[in-house]
Structure 1
Amino acid sequence: MQMLGAIPIGIWAPLLGLGLAVCAGVWLGERKAFARRGKVAAWRWVRLATLPILAATAAVAWLPAQAVGGPEALAVFYLCLLFVCPVVYFGLHVWLGRWVSPALIGGEALGIAATGLLPIAVPVAAAHLLQPWYFEARAAVAEAGRLRAPVRPRPHRIVDERRFLLPEIGEVWAEHWLAPGGVRVERIESRHGGEFSRADDSSGGGLCRAGDDVYLFWSAAAPTPHWRMFWRDESGELLQSEWTSQPAAGPAEHFELRWSDAGVNLPARIPLGMVALARVPDGGAESFDGLLGLGAVYDPLDNCLPLDLRWPAKPGWSAPQALRIAQWRIDLQAMRFATFRRP
């Protein structure tokens, strides 16, 4: 789920207005209740004190985090927010309630403290409830705008069409969609059951990008892919194209790797999310690790393995001993793995 901060000010403004309206109604009823008890003056003083108490409570969470700094600052902030701030906020209301005249009992002061949070709680709660509809509506508006784009022939030239045979996986189609100068690809979709869904935002779906060039590594057992691409020409105009991929002519060839001390040469570019390398730790057993490891930065515009794959040395581990390609076989409803070992 996207963060609430992604909701623009144009949406937050009415939510804040809703929060203030709810607060006004609740506080008016609260004032009448205290007036019937003869404690309206005490209620007024404690209610007016809510704002400086909120400021003091915020400082209790903010200042220690600033003093600590570094990666531990966030942990300190949340610890203070969850465990210290409630004690400070409600405790100050109860303490002040005992000093005003007429004095407030603990439950009365706690009630005033709770309703003092409504200006914050109501907009945030409303935003959480409305957030899914907001993002769905925004996506629908964006989709409608894209679909109004003029239809043009596919801008890319398909080159390097090849068919490969991989152990366990079977036949795979490989294509390179070469982008002409000035073309910028914005979105690529594939059709499934009559509906289009985005295909270029995943690292292991059989399609990857190297800038505006696109590489396909598609299981022949899967349905023939039908594509829709949204792109901009040199003038910046948004355009769209549709086409269906077809397998290359001629026989399929074996997918052969050429190993070296520093890396391996691949016969075709592959989405990096489909590939894992096997290393052996000192005194341990072989382990396959994906190339999208912890801390890796995923770039949807550059998510293809290079043909000349190189890897740095990993202290305490051997050089990669095997490369494994994973691909979903839709006809078998199972993942299949092709493993290529260093000679």
Structure 2
Amino acid sequence: MDIDFFLSSLSKLPLFDKWAWGAVSVAVLAAAGLILFIERRHFAARDKGGSWLSLRLLSLFVLLPVTAGVIVIPSMAISGPEALAYFYLALLILGPLVWFAGHSLCGRLLRPAFSKGESRFMAASGLLILFLPFAAATVAQGPIFLASRGLTESAFQAAPAAALPHATGPVQRFNLPTVGLIYTQSLIAPPGLELERIDRKVGEIWADTATSSRDILCRDQQNVHLMWSAREPTPVLRLYWRLNGQRVQADFSPVTVADSAEPREFTITFRPDGIDPPVPIPRSRASIAYFVGPDRLYFNSLNPLQPGETFANDCIMPGYKRVDSEKEGPPQAVALMFFQSANAPYLRAEIKRPAEPQSNRQP
């Protein structure tokens, strides 16, 4: 495990989570200490306190590394599915055999010696102590997550309302084949603004867009870009940011008005190494296609990030470039998907690169 990554992740936990997991850790240490204390009293009453301490030290510094080595080292040396098969075999059979046999052997060699039953008891209690942290984490994870989420949601919901600081661009209308009319709009943030969160209203529920599919919006730094079809519900958003050190919120929903003018065709400019859409596109809507054989296109979702990209800035902007463009070849098409409702099929539109002479195609 990367210790720097672990410490960085730990430092980013909310304060409640840190205290909660700290309490769980203290409880685990207290339980382990209680088990060891009761064990020592039990064996000290039988004049085996020194043997108990020796076996516990041998368990920690000899038997535990040997058992872990039997499980891990061969599974790392083996490749393929056999490695996983060996790992589970060693974890469930070989590891426990080595652990219990080692305790029996060491217990017999100590003076005063342990009986076979006492050695097995020590081995079992040692396993219990080893599994305590995992069991506690499994049991506590759900309640801590729910409690932390509840506190976080309460803090956001309690934020006072304020005027939306973004400059709202005009609602633009485009026509897409097989989809029909779509709308786009951009919210441009003023310098220095930092959005904390964007919620989207789905039915009567407000959902954090950072933890759900962002098909109707994307972010470019602190700017927010919307794209939705006439067959989809108009987005209803709630934006949170800091104003003079205090968290505030503002609701926003685009206003579409009837327009007798024909919508523009949604056209994309194709470059050898990428594309230039007319407006920012949420990456979860888009796939890009390139040739994988003569006249055979492969559509690759743009949801996976390229090197240097982040989900915090997840728009397909004008100037979008494919990192592996030399390997993939020039993009040949872009597919956009729109979701009408849970019970209706999604709509898919393809915008293709203008036809080129056959000799100019790259396989």
> What SS does the corresponding residue of 1:191 show, helix, strand or coil?
strand
Moved more, 49-58 or 3-12: 3-12
- Equivalent residue for 1:153? 163
> What SS does the corresponding residue of 1:94 show, helix, strand or coil?
helix
Shift of 1:229: 0.9
Q: Distance in 2 between matches of 1:309 and 1:9?
A: 40
- Equivalent residue for 1:236? 245
Shift of 1:184: 1.2
State yes or no: 1:132 paired with 2:142.
Answer: yes
State yes or no: 1:162 paired with 2:172.
Answer: yes
Q: Distance in 1 between matches of 2:328 and 2:33?
A: 66
Shift of 1:87: 5.3
Q: Work out whether residues 282 and 318 of structure 1, in 8 Å CA contact, stay in contact via their aligned partners in 2.
A: no
- Equivalent residue for 1:320? 331
Relative contact order (alpha carbons < 8 A, sep ≥ 6): 1 or 2 greater? 1
Q: Distance in 1 between matches of 2:132 and 2:211?
A: 35
State yes or no: 1:299 paired with 2:328.
Answer: no
State yes or no: 1:118 paired with 2:124.
Answer: no
Q: Distance in 1 between matches of 2:97 and 2:18?
A: 32
- Determine which of 256, 260, 264 is the counterpart of 2:267: 256
- Paired residue type of 1:239: V
> What SS does the corresponding residue of 1:240 show, helix, strand or coil?
strand
State yes or no: 1:213 paired with 2:223.
Answer: yes
State yes or no: 1:56 paired with 2:66.
Answer: no
Change (3 A) 1:25 1:173: same
Q: Distance in 2 between matches of 1:297 and 1:88?
A: 47
- Paired residue type of 1:274: R
Change (3 A) 1:82 1:218: same
- Paired residue type of 2:297: E
Equivalenced residue count is: 329
- Equivalent residue for 1:335? 346
> What SS does the corresponding residue of 2:185 show, helix, strand or coil?
strand
- Equivalent residue for 2:237? 227
Shift of 1:151: 0.8
Q: Distance in 2 between matches of 1:257 and 1:294?
A: 21
Change (3 A) 1:331 1:17: closer
Change (3 A) 1:100 1:260: closer
Q: Distance in 2 between matches of 1:158 and 1:230?
A: 16
Moved more, 291-300 or 111-120: 291-300
- Paired residue type of 2:24: L
Q: Work out whether residues 42 and 97 of structure 1, in 8 Å CA contact, stay in contact via their aligned partners in 2.
A: no
Unpaired stretches in structure 2, ≥5 consecutive residues: 1-5, 355-363
- Paired residue type of 1:246: V
> What SS does the corresponding residue of 1:174 show, helix, strand or coil?
strand
Unpaired stretches in structure 1, ≥5 consecutive residues: none
Shift of 1:248: 5.3
- Of all paired residues, the percent bearing the same amino acid is 27
Q: Work out whether residues 187 and 200 of structure 1, in 8 Å CA contact, stay in contact via their aligned partners in 2.
A: yes
Shift of 1:101: 4.8
Q: Work out whether residues 51 and 111 of structure 2, in 8 Å CA contact, stay in contact via their aligned partners in 1.
A: no
State yes or no: 1:45 paired with 2:41.
Answer: no
Q: Work out whether residues 206 and 217 of structure 1, in 8 Å CA contact, stay in contact via their aligned partners in 2.
A: yes
Measured against aligned partners, the alpha-carbon deviations of 1:113-134 in whole angstroms (never above 9, x if no partner) come to: 1212333422431221111111
Moved more, 293-302 or 25-34: 25-34
Report the TM-score when normalising by structure 1: 0.79
How well do the aligned residues superpose, as a CA RMSD in angstroms?
Answer: 3.8
Change (3 A) 1:79 1:57: farther
Q: Work out whether residues 50 and 93 of structure 1, in 8 Å CA contact, stay in contact via their aligned partners in 2.
A: no
Q: Work out whether residues 306 and 323 of structure 2, in 8 Å CA contact, stay in contact via their aligned partners in 1.
A: no
Q: Work out whether residues 222 and 331 of structure 1, in 8 Å CA contact, stay in contact via their aligned partners in 2.
A: no
Change (3 A) 1:9 1:169: same
Shift of 1:288: 0.6
State yes or no: 1:269 paired with 2:280.
Answer: yes
Change (3 A) 1:244 1:126: same
Q: Work out whether residues 103 and 119 of structure 2, in 8 Å CA contact, stay in contact via their aligned partners in 1.
A: yes
Change (3 A) 1:318 1:25: closer
